[in-house]
Structure 1
Amino acid sequence: MADPRVEKLAEILVDFSIDVQPGDWVVVRSHILALPLLHAVTRRILRAGGNPTAVLSDSQLGEILLRGANDAQLEWISPMERMTLENADALIVLGATDNTRALSGVDPLRQQLQQRARRELMGTYMQRSADGSLRWVGTQYPCPALAQEADMSLDEYEDFVYSTTFADQTDPVQAWREVFNRQQHWVEWLRGRQQIVIKGANAEMTLSIAGRDFINDYGRHNMPAGELFTSPVEDSVNGWVRFSYPAIREGREVEDVEFYFEQGKIVKATARKNEAFLLSQLDADAGARFLGEWAIGTNYRIKRFTKSILYDEKIGGTMHMAVGRGFPEAGSRNISAIHWDFICDMRQQSEIWVDGDLFYKNGEFQV
């Protein structure tokens, strides 16, 4: 018997997150394990009058390419990929995996080469996202490998996924609208502010948000949503941060990461595990050692670390920051081939001050 929560999640993605209109070209990228959700999403797109195109993948294809391709093949951009990001009206990504470590043995320099070749295309994607000409949303379908990463049974993980996305609610769209209203209060409070000071056991930092906008993440792009984010002034970040959780990228888990900033740039980076990979990513290009994002997680339904950045960066009571490309809609001018998030727990002995006002303390908003 089909899980009715799958249909609810499809409703959220199609009717709320990207709001499919008649005639829209909607590209749906899906792992083969997410077929039940792909089918539900396709039916919903057709019902809304859109034109769906499905693109299927699995966990081995990326590994095959990175291991078997020569440099020219790694740098080649598929015309289908370019057409999607330049011309599609909407993009839905349905993630899943049967091996979360499929790329862990691949030479990071080959991954770096592939990323650099896609820097211009990534810029197109982020600019179209910023100006609204490309509506997009990404989610994950609950599967055994992701459940194992989160130290949950599959049944438990399904309950977690559908709870955090409100797919277990009678009216999930209304639930996300209420999230927007609650978070917009903080966005308005932050408008026009200048300086952020972060103090705590895991961070002593300052950064400028002068002329930068905060974005209310309430389900239009990520599902689940739940964060307030901006792009800090590029040369303004100074201080130190230690990240509480592992950072996972391209199948590699980097642990106990610490960054030291001077005039916006990471001048020292260390990690207890996979430090060489961390440094290879930070050296990908000139923008990779600057912050493209600073954010606060607001989804208090997410209470535990799952090793999936889609959920973990939203953990209520945490902050996160991403090295690399920033958000044009927030005012960022930082350009990079990468955008990699790192999470810091703020639920104990932590404060965030904004222009001298206490904004956040021990994982809770104070305004």
Structure 2
Amino acid sequence: MYNRKDKQLAQKILTFSCELEEGQNVMLQLVGLNGIGLLRALVEEARAMNANPFIRIEDTEIRRILSETGDKNFWKNQAEADQLPLMKKMDAFVGIRASLNIYEQADVSREANKAYADYFVDPVHFKERVNNTSWVVLRYPSEAFAMNARMPTQRFRDFYYKACLLDYEELAGAMKPLQDRLEQTEHIRLKGEGTDIDFSVEDQTWIPCFGKRNIPDGELFSSPIRSSVNGYISYAPSVYQGKPFDFVKLDVRDGVVVDFDSSNNEALEEILDTDAGARQFGEFSFGLNPVIEEPMHDILFDEKIYGSNHLTLGNDYEIAPNGNESNIHWDLVCIGADVYLDGEKVREGRTFITDDLKGLNPENLMQ
């Protein structure tokens, strides 16, 4: 039915991440049939807890057909007639992304993506699920996933479960000194190859992430003061809305992207033109998972790369807001820039160098 690691992962998701309780409703959504073993383990664990699982299984090619053909009226009806009323009854949500082709949505038009974002994702997920459930989302391993990570399949599976089943309570303790520093910080600068950007985070809220919303996890995030962001930044390879980018470079003035370059400028321009907030930043984060070393074209992993930061285009999170509103949220990742907090260098490349933060370096977290 499922393997031993899936059972461990299901237990961690429901008890630690979602903190599911007896009698609660939990939506278990599987996108892509590859993750059926984990879904079975989640259903079995939920019923053993006397919780109420609601199952949604979506084929990725059917999802592509709906994405390509859906318009405002279609997605509005889908949200109002089906998913939104059901989501309002949920106490928890687990989303398993198990597609075998990360480029399945590559041919979906800008207009179709916008209709889906405006009339389905925003009301069902951004407004209802994110704010009113205990939720967690994760990917599931496959040969295709291993190929994107440039690993043999078995080594990738070993890596996947190691990253996902990390001791998050230990990581939470190691994050605390960085959170304490950041809560007193007014100004942050990132400086590295192709990157020299600075911004204010004065009085912003910092949120530690250690397995409660994403699996794998390991980040500490806030949002910049929108108008304070100035400079230029270079990002690692990324895939967004099914479109691949080998690199992205942004020039920013007073919080707004004024120039850009990438391996796919036509697609990048379309994303930036989604709405006014798409050219501004809604999140800034430190990646802190000691297991994840290199980008693998999957943002749930890439945003957690140790020694990285993501300065995110688009919508902020209500839990750490800066007032930016957008129908995109693109966690572009910058790896290995030096980090300065109020002028003091605290990370050199990917290594924290101050005594209070050295506990976040991989050699100290994986002893």
Q: So what's the TM-score if we normalise by structure 1?
A: 0.90
Shift of 1:5: 0.7
CA contact (8 A) 1:229 1:293 kept: yes
1:241 equivalent to 2:233? Answer yes
Match of 1:139 in 2: 138
Measured after TM superposition, the shift of residue 335 of structure 1 is 1.1
Cα distance between partner residues in 2 of 1:127 and 1:94: 15
Deviation for aligned residue 1:218:
0.5
What's the % identity of the aligned pairs? 26
Indicate the residue corresponding to 2:16 in structure 1.
16
The residue that corresponds to 1:278 in the other structure is 268
Q: 1:124 — aligned with what?
A: 127
Which residue of 2 is the match for residue 46 of structure 1? 47
1:109 aligns with 2:99: no
Which deviates further from its counterpart, 13-22 or 57-66?
57-66
Residue of structure 2 equivalent to 1:5 = 5
How far did 1:204 drift? 0.7
| 1:360 counterpart SS class | strand
Please state how far the C-alpha of 1:3 moved relative to its aligned partner: 2.2
What is the CA–CA distance in structure 2 between the aligned matches of 1:290 and 1:85, rounded to whole Å? 30
Show the counterpart of 1:364: 351
Task: Check conservation: 2:206, 2:220, Cα contact below 8 A.
Answer: yes
> 1:84 Cα shift?
4.1
Q: How big is the shift at 1:63? A: 1.4
SS in 1 for 2:325: coil
Q: Residues 183-222 of structure 1 correspond to what in structure 2 (within 5 A)? A: 183-222=175-214
CA distance in 2, matches of 1:331, 1:250: 24
Report the CA distance between 1:239 and its aligned residue.
0.6
Q: 1:127 to 1:301 in 2, by over 3 A?
A: closer
- TM-superposition CA deviations, 1:252-302 (whole Å, max 9, x none): 102221111111111112212x21111111111121111111111111211
Larger deviation, residues 152-161 vs 258-267: 152-161
Moved over 6 A (4+): none
Amino acid at match of 2:297: K
The offset of 1:194, in angstroms, is 0.9
Please name the residue that 1:34 is paired with: 35
Structure 1 residues 279 and 108, CA gap change in structure 2 (3 angstroms): same
- Shift in Å at residue 2 of structure 1? 4.3
Residue of structure 1 equivalent to 2:327: 337
Stretches of structure 1 that go unaligned for 5 or more consecutive residues are 167-171
Separation in 1, partners of 2:281, 2:300:
19
Q: Does 1:328 align with 2:318?
A: yes
Q: Which position in structure 2 is the counterpart of 1:55?
A: 56
For 1:176, the equivalent position in structure 2 comes to 168
Distance 1:275 1:75, change over 3 A: farther
What TM-score comes out, normalization by structure 2 length? 0.90
Q: Distance in 1 between matches of 2:48 and 2:239?
A: 37
Q: Is the 8 A contact 2:197 2:230 kept in 1?
A: yes
Deviations along 1:206-251, whole A, 9 cap, x unmatched?
11111211111110001110111111111110110011x2220122
Structure 2 unaligned spans of 5+: 355-367
Aligned partner letter, 2:311:
M
Given that 1:317 and 1:363 are in contact with CA atoms closer than 8 Å, whether structure 2 keeps it comes out as yes
1:304 corresponds, among 286, 294, 305, to 294
**Does the 8 Å contact 2:237/2:295 carry over to 1?**
no
Range that drifts further, 303-312 or 64-73? 64-73
- Give the CA deviation at 1:75: 4.8
